[in-house]
Amino acid sequence: MDRLKALEVFKAIVEHKGFSRGADALNVSRSIATRVVQSLETELGARLFVRSTRKVSLTPFGQCFFERATAVIGSYEELAFMGKQNSTDACGSVRIDAPALFGLQRLGGMLAMFMKDNPNIDVDLHANDNGVDALSDLADLAISVDRAAPENLIARPLRPLTTGLYASQAYLDRVGVPQHPRDVAPGDWMVLAGRTTCGEFELLEHSSSNRFLTPRNGAMRANNPDALIGAAIHGAGVALVPSRFAQKAHLVPVLPGWSSRPLEVHLLYRPRRLEPMRVRKLIDYLTDEFAYDPASDYPTQESLAIHTTRAGRPMASDRLMAA
């Protein structure tokens, strides 16, 4: 029998003034109650009761032990109550780690709506570089992008980040609109540098099985799409970034017939049987929001047609061929 249960048996015997009545109160046999007390006395090296044919009374040490045991049991019952409240009431703080690559502005907006619907829950959002531990010791949840999920964590798939090729209109006016990835100068490529890409992405042509590997020695590599988009806005080159971010920055889609694989996104958390209600609610909320996000990652065919035909001039290689 575990120690806490043994303390409960001892306390019942004292409060009910006898082994038989104490055992009955806990629905155990008298012999079990006797063995529990004997085991406690052996472990403590002191007698707890003075037994006689007429009554059972506590020894001085037994009286002290009873007071301490009552306090221990009371503390445990208080903790058990707090645990039940924690698992059933949606209140308290939830910490979530997320990389800048995911888009923290969008996530912040969703978390604001979550807190509005759950006013007793506050969220502690920490940005990371997607290269640190998948789920820090202090975090309840983490979002990972383009990295393998550790086997000791639960990984719920979220909506992937679809990437596209984008540039500023000023850049296209200066160098022309590329018709093939090789038309982009090696020094004009700007790509995301994740844990699995190392700044190198494979582009696939939709209409064929043609492939193109972006060069590593491009203009810029970054694990933050905002940096690449900022550089693209200033005409630094062609950026391979999540489509949603580029569209909000009013960049122009280029090479619409080519794309790279989507970046896998997962919501990570520990496999706990008694997950607090506040954490469970946020898990369900994020899973639902990112599974049914109405904002598409893909540029529309209409916008692609408009931007593709807005070219001020063809690529330099096309002009040379025409001459």
Domain ranges of the chain: 3-88, 92-161+264-291, 163-261+297-322
Find, among 322, 166, 192, 150, the residue nearest to 253 by Cα: 166
pTM value is: 0.61
Query: What's the rounded Cα separation, in Å, for the pair 220 and 232?
Result: 10
> If one looks up domain 92-161+264-291 in CATH, what number appears?
3.40.190.10
pLDDT at 270 over 80: yes
Find, among 125, 112, 106, 139, the residue nearest to 268 by Cα: 139
Would you say 293 and 243 are in contact if contact means Cβ atoms under 8 Å apart?
A: no
Beta bridge partners of 240: 165, 191
Do 92-161+264-291 and 3-88 fall under one CATH topology? Answer: no
At residue 134, the 3 state secondary structure works out as coil
- Give 3-88's CATH code, choosing from 1.10.10.10, 3.10.20.30, 3.40.50.2300, 1.20.120.850: 1.10.10.10
At residue 129, the pLDDT reads: 67
Find, among 202, 307, 184, the residue nearest to 253 by Cα: 307
Cβ neighbours around 196 below 10 Å, total: 11
Kindly report, residue by residue over 115-140, the tens digit of the pLDDT.
999 999 999 998 876 555 578 878 89
- Give 163-261+297-322's CATH code, choosing from 2.70.180.20, 3.40.190.290, 3.20.10.10, 3.30.70.560: 3.40.190.290
User: Would the CA dihedral through 121, 124, 129, 132 be positive or negative?
Assistant: negative
Would you say 40 and 78 are in contact if contact means Cβ atoms under 8 Å apart?
A: no
At residue 310, the pLDDT reads: 36
Query: What's the rounded Cα separation, in Å, for the pair 194 and 161?
Result: 13
